[in-house]
Structure 1
Amino acid sequence: MALTELFLDSSFFKALIDDRDEFHSLTKSTIDAIEKGVYKPVSTNYILDETLTLIRIKSGLDKALQFGNFLRENRLNMRVIRVHAADDAAAWEWFIKDWSRLSFTDCVSFAVMKRLALTHVATFDQHFKRAGFTIAKPAPTKSA
């Protein structure tokens, strides 16, 4: 049986690293599923950049370094996709839809997921559902 590739979004990473985040406890079941081989984790260099910056601003340098070391050790055996120029161009088509609070990084994620035929995402961001992707359970989502 082939593993389902699971795209990991910055909202998932932020909740994972911040034990005060309202969704922190929900990330544990997804990590368990990854460690048990249910999912093969995938993300992009844009998501990792966004997450490191977000964690540093919201939680401080120590938490950002903790997350950076977690990534560098690659304990999840995560595939990191480098964004192509064509992904940026496709992302622009999503971005001009002008959905409420839609970030360009989300648009790039949509473009990469479409290019790689990824359907499942670990996120707490409803924009992914609106864009046609399946939000991995059991994690509920918060409104965008």
Structure 2
Amino acid sequence: MILVDTGYVLALVNPGDSLHQRARAWAGAITEPLIVTEYVLWEIVNSLSLPVDRPKARAVVSSLRAASDCEVIPASGELFDAGLDLHARRPDKEWSLTDCISFVVMQRRGLTRALAHDHHFEQAGFEALLRRDPA
């Protein structure tokens, strides 16, 4: 499984994004199931909140939720607390709470790769696939 991060989805749906072509290449190359947290889905919707982007937000979230090869991890108090704990334990990093929650999910699931460009994933010991082209 590969974790989906907000930046990947935003690059994928925005042709003007500097990572759009790379995100499209990864979308075509991925053969493994995906996993995404509801926290990432919230970030996607929040990032696409302009009236012109709202239909795009709805479509991409609906698509991820309906995909048979994508597991959506529901938000929970326990997961929120685990992410908040990691956030507190790493005051030396500029990691967002959403990223910390993703890191917790990745650690628990034994995942090593994320569809992300954010160097914070690398700081946490994971591979941020969007930092390179697919092989």
TM-score higher than 0.5: yes
Which stretches in structure 1 are left out of the alignment for 5+ residues? none
Alignment size in residue pairs: 130
Q: Match of 2:111, SS?
A: coil
Matched, 1:40 2:53: no
Where does 1:63-82 land on structure 2 (aligned, <5 Å)? 63-74=56-67, 77-82=69-74
2:85 to 93, 111, 116: 93
| Secondary structure, counterpart of 2:33 in structure 1 | strand
CA distance in 2, matches of 1:55, 1:27: 17
Q: Give, in angstroms, the shift of residue 44 of structure 1.
A: 0.8
Structure 2 residue matching 1:56: 3-state secondary structure: coil
Q: Read off the aligned partner of 2:122 and give its amino acid letter.
A: K
Instruction: Return the alpha-carbon distance in structure 2 between the equivalents of residues 105 and 57 of structure 1.
Output: 21
TM-score of the aligned structures, taking structure 1 as reference length: 0.79
CA 1:89 to 1:78, structure 2 compared with 1: closer, same or farther past 3 Å? same
Structure 2 stretches of 5 or more lacking a match? none
TM-score by length of 2: 0.83
Q: Deviations over 1:54-99 (max 9, x none)?
A: 122496323323323433542x721111244332222123212231
Amino acid at match of 1:33: A
Identity, in percent, stands at: 27
